[in-house]
Structure formats: structure tokens, C-alpha cells
């Protein structure tokens, strides 16, 4: 099927192209991100953009570009970039955040309530331009009654220095703030030039940004004592061995009751057996299960 | 059994409102108990065509991507030829169950229960295929019928059931727990009455009455466990009973997981995340299909 024909098939509501299913399965196997049937159209659109760029005429030919040609690694990253483009925004995954507020937070509060020093430590690993950690900060502010006398620490790291600088300015355009409801918009933002929104300094200062390469073992071991880690659409770029190492660090960095949240439709299947998938209302997360022998040796 | 529960169940049994099995479904169910190779296309289409409204609904459903059809089918015969006998039987059963759902659920939208049942049926089938469960079609039927007791409650005790439902919704707890607290029995108990009344096969009776306690099934624990796990997945997703349960579950820690693992060793290494994501894709289709059929 040609890129142009691919569009026409989608418009005609045709059955999924078997080559597209192969690409879907390849992405799931390599990157851990799954496109269910209702998202295949989106995947096809992303592939079509890359096919146009490469002048690949059919999905079969494009599959070859992703698997056998020398440029396969570069092309896979290019496709993953297309897939995750424009994903970052405030309140990106509302059902995940609802689950955090309704289920996860009360559980952690209950677990730590008897400790003399109450601290909630969260980490946004791969925070890009800051929308995710700032969203967490806004949510925690709204939970101030439940979290009275708690010290809240929100750490945010990224490999890209430029993204971090952007994050520190805390100035956002309409695309990043598209999911912000009027309540949050009015309470925590002020209007800035060119229709942008400036986040209040108090919220901005509540997040600690720093540059971190998740593959840097020497630094990863210092990210200790965490209650919650968010790592959304970051691991998809890692090869299996690196992914396993990062996940093992996450496992070690989390407290026993800790939670790991991944991106929407992102999975650890085949990557790690120590974490256990749990279902929350309309969301999933990973918690620390009983450690396997292999996991012990790797850590 | 407590006196209250006995009295309520007696009341259900005594009521004329207990749904009768739709005329077409009874022979259809019996016919479908035969081995697939003994089923005949003409006989099946004739059985469905007896009920014109059922036949129209079947066509509407047969044209949904949920049932794998991408080219328009405009007759029952072409649906059977294109989709196969098994699929069309599934569709006919699905429409039949829709037709016994009351149109007014005492302030509750009954459509959500049917959406849940159809969603659960699809998840059961997909789950069964993935773990090489021997009979995915039976799994579909079991998923479709597992909550028959809710339909009984909606017909026979609408006000009382509404109290239980509102309680479940407000507390974010499973419906059967709320029913137990407010009615003294659950839809598994009332479902059992209907399943007996309809003379469903023993495995389906177990599904209807034990789908929250699968290990209690003596002869059909595998099928019941498969439905219990699929039902849980649906209830934690958007294909729930019209509200989200406020809790965290680990499917691997469910007693039904252990039961099903014994029958399907592939379950030990099962990709739950992928099934969960796939379920998301059914949600929109199920909702739009159900609403289109229900309101037509």
C-alpha cells in the first residue's frame, strides 16, 4: 500500500493493513508502546509522514526501513519522535492523575502517617519542558489539607539542557495548556505576552530541576527514597539492556510502597519481572512485587 | 441463607416480571450446543429471521468492526457467509440479551449494563484466544451472560436495586458488595434463578452464579475464572457498570488467576498490559454500537 493509498484506506474504514499490524507489533516489542486498534489510524498517519520523508512507497517497504536497512535505528527513533510529538502538556493523562489522587496518595499517606517526619518525594524522570512535574505540584497544592505538615519534594530531570531551561522559565503557550481547566488557569497562572501563560513563582520554585542521564548509573543510585516515579514516553527510546538497567534503578530508588507510572499504553512486559502491574480506576501503574533471583543479581 | 435473602429471592421467583427467555434464543442456545460442523447456515438464518427486530439488530451489529466486518453486509445470509456461523450466533445472542434489558431501569441507565456485558464478552473472547483457552466462543457467551442477575434485579426489584446501585456508585465499591449490604443477596443469586429458569447449560449457570467466587465452581472453575478476570478488567476500565470502582487490584493476586493458571499454563507469562490497552479500543466501538442499536 502506498502512503497516499494508505490515507484513502483509512478514510474508507478498511480493515487494518497486515503491514501496519507488523509495525505496531514491532514498536510494542522494541519500545513498549502499544497502539490498540482504535489508534491504528494515528499510527498510520505517523508512518505516512516518515514514508513521505523517506520516499518509501509501501508500508512493507517502510517496515524494511525499520528492521533490516542500516538506518533502522535512526528511523525507529524518528518514528518514535513522530508518535510522541506534541504529547507534553499539563494534565496530560487525566485518568492517571485521578488514580494518583484518589487511590495512590491516600495509600501512601496511610503508610507513612505514623512516621515522625512526613515526606512525600516524587520524581518526574524525563520531564521535558516541565509540564508534568508542574502538574504534580499543582495537584499536591490542591491536596494541602490532606498533606498538612508534609514536606513535598518534586524532582524533575531531563537529559536535554534546553528543555530544562524552558521548564525553569515556566512560560507556556496554548498547546501546552490545552487541558488546563479554568480553575487551575485562574488560580495558578497569569497572562503573559503573545497569549502565553506564566506559572506562579511559588509553584515554579516548588519543583527542583536538574540534568540527568538515566543511563548514568553513578548518579542514578542517588535518587533514593522515592514514593512515586513518573517516567512517561522516555524508556521507549532505550534498547532493552539499557531499559532493564534504568528500571532496576527505579526499583531500587522506590520505597517499598512506591509506585511507578509510565505513559499511556506503555508497558514493562518482557523488560522487568520485579515490578508488578496493578490496575487503578481507568489507569495502570507498577508497584514493587517480590523480587526474583535474577532481579537481585542485577541490582 | 438469611430469612431476608430467602424472602427476597422468593419474591423474585414469584413475580411475573422475571424475564422470559426471548423466543428465538432458547432454540438458538440449544442449537449452538452442537458441534460447529453440525451447524447449518440456512437453519441458523431461518431461526434469527423469525424475529424481524432481532434480525435488523443483528445486521447493524454485523457491520461493526468489533465483529471483524469491513464491507457492508445487507442480509443475514451474507453476514453468515462473511463472518461465519459462530460470529453470527454470538451477534444474535448479544442482541437477544439486549432485548431483555428493561428500557427504564428506575433511574439507572440500563444501557451501561449491556455495554459492560458486550465489552466483557469481547474481552473474554480475546483473553481466551491469547491464553489458548480451548473454547473462545463459549467464553464470549459466558461473558455476555455473566450479569444476567442484574437484569433480573432491574426487572423485579427496581427500587431496591437502585438503592444498592447508588450506594455502590457513591462508595466506589463493586456492585455485588453493595447488593449484599443493601439487599442481602447479589446478582449472582438472582442470576442463578434466571439461569435455572432458562435451563442454561451447567457451565453457564456456574458463570452466572459464581463469577465473583470462581474457585467455588466444582466442574467449570476455568471458564468462571476467565469471566471473573475479564469482568474485573472491564470494571476497572471504561467498560464498567457506569461508575469507576475506587480501588487498586492486582490480577495476579486474584484466586481466579490461580484457578485459570492451572488450566492455561500460558497465563503465567501473560501480557496483562496489552490486553488492558486492547480493551481501550473496544470501549468506543462498544459504546457507539450499543447506543445506536438501543436507540434505534
B179 touches A at CB < 8 Å:
no
3-state helix/strand/coil string of chain A: CCHHHHHHHHHCCCCCCHHHHHHHHHHHHHHCECCCHHHHHHHHHHHHHHHHHHCCCCHHHHHHHHHCCCCHHHHHHHHHHHHHCCCCCCCCCHHHHHHHHHHHHHHHHHHHCCCCCCEEEEEEECCCCCHHHHHHHHHHHHCCCCCCCCEEEEEEEECCHHHHHHHHHCEECCCCCCCCCHHHHHHHEEECHHHCEEECHHHHCCEEEEECCCCCHHHHCCCCCEEEEEECCCHHHCCHHHHHHHHHHHHHHEEEEEEEEECCCECCCCCCCCEEEEEECCEEEEEECCCCHHHHHHC
pLDDT at A127: 95
A102 touches B at CB < 8 Å:
yes
Residue B231 and residue B53: Cα distance in Å, rounded? 29
Residue A200 and residue A95: Cα distance in Å, rounded? 25
Same domain, A155 and A15: no
B154 or B257, which is more confident? B257
B245 touches A at CB < 8 Å:
yes
B251 touches A at CB < 8 Å:
yes
pLDDT at B73: 76
Same domain, A100 and A63: no
In angstroms, what separates the C-alpha of A152 from chain B's closest C-alpha?
24
Same domain, A211 and A233: yes
Give the residue-averaged pLDDT of B34-48.
80
Cross-chain residue pair A107–B272, CB shorter than 8 Å: no
pLDDT at A294: 41
Instruction: Please report which confidence band the pLDDT of residue B8 belongs to, taking 50, 70 and 90 as the band edges.
Output: low
Consecutive 10-residue averages of pLDDT for chain A (299 residues): 37 71 93 88 93 93 90 90 82 96 96 91 96 98 93 96 95 95 97 95 97 94 95 91 96 97 93 95 91 42
Residue A248 and residue A172: Cα distance in Å, rounded? 34
- First-residue to last-residue Cα distance in chain A: 47
In angstroms, what separates the C-alpha of A268 from chain B's closest C-alpha?
8
Instruction: Please report which confidence band the pLDDT of residue B20 belongs to, taking 50, 70 and 90 as the band edges.
Output: low
Q: Could you tell me the residue range of the domain that residue A206 belongs to? A: 94-298
In angstroms, what separates the C-alpha of A285 from chain B's closest C-alpha?
10
Residue B17 and residue B295: Cα distance in Å, rounded? 23
Q: What is the ipTM of this complex?
A: 0.87
Among the partner residues B70, B277, B278, nearest to A14 by beta-carbon distance: B70
Contact residues, chain B, for A107 at CB < 8 Å: 248
3-state secondary structure of B30: helix
Name the residue of chain A whose CA is nearest to B229's CA: A279
CATH code of the domain in which A25 resides = 1.10.155
Same domain, A57 and A176: no
pLDDT at A287: 97
Q: Cell numbers for A133, please give them.
A: 512535574
Q: Cell numbers for B150, please give them.
A: 442484574
Among the partner residues A14, A28, A284, nearest to B276 by beta-carbon distance: A284
Asked, for residue A42, whether it belongs to a domain, the answer is: yes
User: Average pLDDT, whole number, for chain B?
Assistant: 85
Same domain, A214 and A246: yes
Same domain, A160 and A285: yes
Buried b (16+ CB within 10 A) or exposed e, B49-87: eebeebbebbbebbbbbbbebeeebeebebbbebbbbeb
Number of residue pairs across A and B with CB atoms under 8 Å? 73
Asked, for residue A180, whether it belongs to a domain, the answer is: yes
Go through the domains of chain B in sequence order and give each one's CATH number: 3-18+103-295 (1.10.3210.10)
pLDDT at B17: 60
B196 or A184, which is more confident? A184
User: Which stretch of A251-255, A277-281, B154-158, B221-225 has the lowest confidence by average pLDDT?
Assistant: B154-158
B238 touches A at CB < 8 Å:
yes
Last residue of a domain, one of A49, A84, A119: A84
Answer whether A131's CB lies under 8 Å from A90's CB. Answer: yes
pLDDT at B16: 60
A34 touches B at CB < 8 Å:
yes
Q: What is the largest CA-CA distance in chain B?
A: 56
Contact residues, chain A, for B73 at CB < 8 Å: none
Asked, for residue A280, whether it belongs to a domain, the answer is: yes
What percentage of chain B has pLDDT greater than the value 90? 43
Residue A40 and residue A20: Cα distance in Å, rounded? 8
Asked, for residue A89, whether it belongs to a domain, the answer is: no
Asked, for residue A25, whether it belongs to a domain, the answer is: yes
Strand partners, A266: A33
Last residue of a domain, one of A84, A113, A135: A84
Mutate: best of B71, B119, B232, B244, partner A, most A CBs <10 A: B244
Considering just the CA atoms, what is the radius of gyration of chain B in Å? Answer: 18
pLDDT at B295: 65
- pTM summary value: 0.87
Cross-chain residue pair B285–A34, CB shorter than 8 Å: no
- Burial class of residue A23, CB neighbours in 10 A (0-12, 13-18, 19+): buried
Residue B78 and residue B93: Cα distance in Å, rounded? 18
Same domain, A62 and A122: no
Total count of domains within chain A:
2
pLDDT at A84: 78
CATH code of the domain in which A134 resides = 3.40.50.150
Q: Cell numbers for B105, please give them.
A: 431501569
In DSSP notation, B50-113 reads: TSHHHHHHHHHHHTSGGGT--S---SHHHHHHHH-HHHHHHHHHHHHHHHHS-S-BTTB-THHH
Same domain, A149 and A260: yes
pLDDT digits (tens, 9 = 90+) for B92-130: 888 877 777 777 766 678 788 888 998 999 999 999 999
Same domain, A234 and A285: yes
Same domain, A77 and A98: no
Instruction: Please report which confidence band the pLDDT of residue B43 belongs to, taking 50, 70 and 90 as the band edges.
Output: confident
Instruction: Please report which confidence band the pLDDT of residue B292 belongs to, taking 50, 70 and 90 as the band edges.
Output: confident
Last residue of a domain, one of A84, A105, A126: A84
Same domain, A22 and A149: no
Same domain, A73 and A177: no
Answer whether B215's CB lies under 8 Å from B255's CB. Answer: yes
Mutate: best of A11, A14, A36, partner B, most B CBs <10 A: A36
Mutate: best of B66, B68, B170, B236, partner A, most A CBs <10 A: B236
Asked, for residue A149, whether it belongs to a domain, the answer is: yes
Amino acid at each position: 500500500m502506498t502512503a497516499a493509498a494508505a490515507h484513502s484506506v483509512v478514510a474508507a474504514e478498511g480493515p487494518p493493513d497486515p503491514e501496519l499490524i507488523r509495525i505496531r507489533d514491532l514498536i510494542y516489542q522494541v519500545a513498549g508502546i502499544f497502539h490498540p486498534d482504535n489508534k491504528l489510524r494515528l499510527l498510520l498517519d505517523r508512518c505516512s509522514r516518515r514514508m513521505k520523508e523517506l520516499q518509501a512507497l509501501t508500508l512493507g517497504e517502510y517496515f524494511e526501513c525499520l528492521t533490516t536497512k542500516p538506518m533502522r535505528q535512526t528511523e525507529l527513533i524518528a518514528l518514535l519522535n513522530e508518535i510522541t510529538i506534541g504529547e507534553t502538556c499539563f494534565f496530560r493523562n487525566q485518568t492517571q492523575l485521578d488514580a494518583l489522587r484518589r487511590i495512590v496518595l491516600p495509600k501512601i499517606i496511610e503508610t507513612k502517617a505514623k512516621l515522625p517526619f512526613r515526606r512525600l518525594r516524587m520524581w518526574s524522570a524525563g520531564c521535558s519542558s516541565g509540564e508534568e512535574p508542574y502538574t504534580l505540584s499543582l495537584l499536591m497544592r490542591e491536596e494541602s489539607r490532606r498533606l498538612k505538615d508534609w514536606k513535598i519534594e518534586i524532582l524533575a530531570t531531563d537529559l536535554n539542557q534546553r528543555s530544562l531551561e524552558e521548564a525553569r522559565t515556566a512560560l507556556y503557550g496554548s498547546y501546552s495548556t490545552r487541558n488546563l481547566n479554568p480553575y487551575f488557569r485562574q488560580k495558578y497562572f497569569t497572562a503573559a505576552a503573545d497569549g502565553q501563560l506564566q506559572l506562579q513563582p511559588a509553584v515554579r520554585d516548588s519543583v527542583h530541576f536538574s540534568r540527568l542521564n538515566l543511563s548514568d548509573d553513578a548518579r542514578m543510585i542517588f535518587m533514593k527514597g522515592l514514593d512515586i516515579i513518573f517516567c512517561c514516553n522516555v524508556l521507549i527510546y532505550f534498547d532493552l539492556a539499557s531499559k532493564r538497567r534504568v528500571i532496576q534503578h527505579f526499583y531500587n530508588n522506590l520505597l517499598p510502597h512506591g509506585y511507578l507510572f509510565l505513559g499511556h499504553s506503555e508497558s514493562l512486559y518482557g523488560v522487568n519481572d520485579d515490578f508488578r502491574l496493578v490496575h487503578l480506576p481507568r489507569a495502570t501503574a507498577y508497584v514493587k512485587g517480590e523480587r526474583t533471583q535474577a532481579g537481585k543479581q542485577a541490582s | 441463607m438469611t430469612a431476608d435473602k430467602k424472602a427476597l429471592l422468593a419474591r423474585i421467583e414469584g413475580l411475573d416480571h422475571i424475564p422470559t427467555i426471548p423466543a428465538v434464543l432458547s432454540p438458538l442456545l440449544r442449537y449452538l450446543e452442537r458441534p460447529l460442523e453440525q451447524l447449518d447456515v440456512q437453519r441458523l438464518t431461518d431461526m434469527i429471521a423469525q424475529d424481524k427486530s432481532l434480525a435488523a439488530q443483528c445486521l447493524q451489529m454485523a457491520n461493526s468492526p468489533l465483529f471483524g466486518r469491513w464491507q457492508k453486509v445487507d442480509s443475514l445470509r451474507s453476514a453468515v457467509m462473511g463472518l461465519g456461523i459462530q460470529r453470527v450466533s454470538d451477534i444474535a445472542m448479544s442482541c437477544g440479551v439486549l432485548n431483555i434489558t428493561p428500557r427504564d431501569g428506575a433511574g439507572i441507565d440500563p444501557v451501561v449494563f449491556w455495554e459492560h456485558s458486550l465489552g466483557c464478552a469481547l474481552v473474554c473472547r480475546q483473553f481466551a484466544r491469547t491464553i489458548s483457552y480451548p473454547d473462545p466462543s463459549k467464553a464470549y457467551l459466558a461473558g455476555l451472560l455473566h450479569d444476567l442477575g442484574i437484569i433480573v434485579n432491574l426487572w423485579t426489584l427496581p427500587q431496591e436495586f437502585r438503592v444498592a446501585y447508588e450506594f455502590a456508585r457513591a462508595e466506589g465499591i463493586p456492585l455485588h458488595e453493595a447488593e449484599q449490604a443493601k439487599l442481602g443477596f447479589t446478582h449472582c443469586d438472582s442470576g442463578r434463578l434466571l439461569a435455572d429458569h432458562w435451563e442454561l447449560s451447567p457451565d453457564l449457570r456456574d458463570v452466572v452464579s459464581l463469577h465473583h467466587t470462581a474457585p467455588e465452581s466444582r466442574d467449570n472453575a476455568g471458564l468462571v475464572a476467565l469471566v471473573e478476570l475479564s469482568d474485573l478488567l472491564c470494571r476497572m476500565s471504561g467498560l464498567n457498570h457506569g461508575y469507576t470502582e475506587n480501588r487498586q487490584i492486582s490480577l495476579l493476586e486474584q484466586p481466579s488467576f490461580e484457578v485459570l493458571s492451572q488450566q492455561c499454563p500460558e497465563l503465567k507469562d501473560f501480557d496483562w498490559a496489552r490486553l488492558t490497552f486492547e480493551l481501550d479500543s473496544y470501549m468506543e466501538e462498544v459504546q457507539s454500537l450499543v447506543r445506536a442499536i438501543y436507540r434505534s
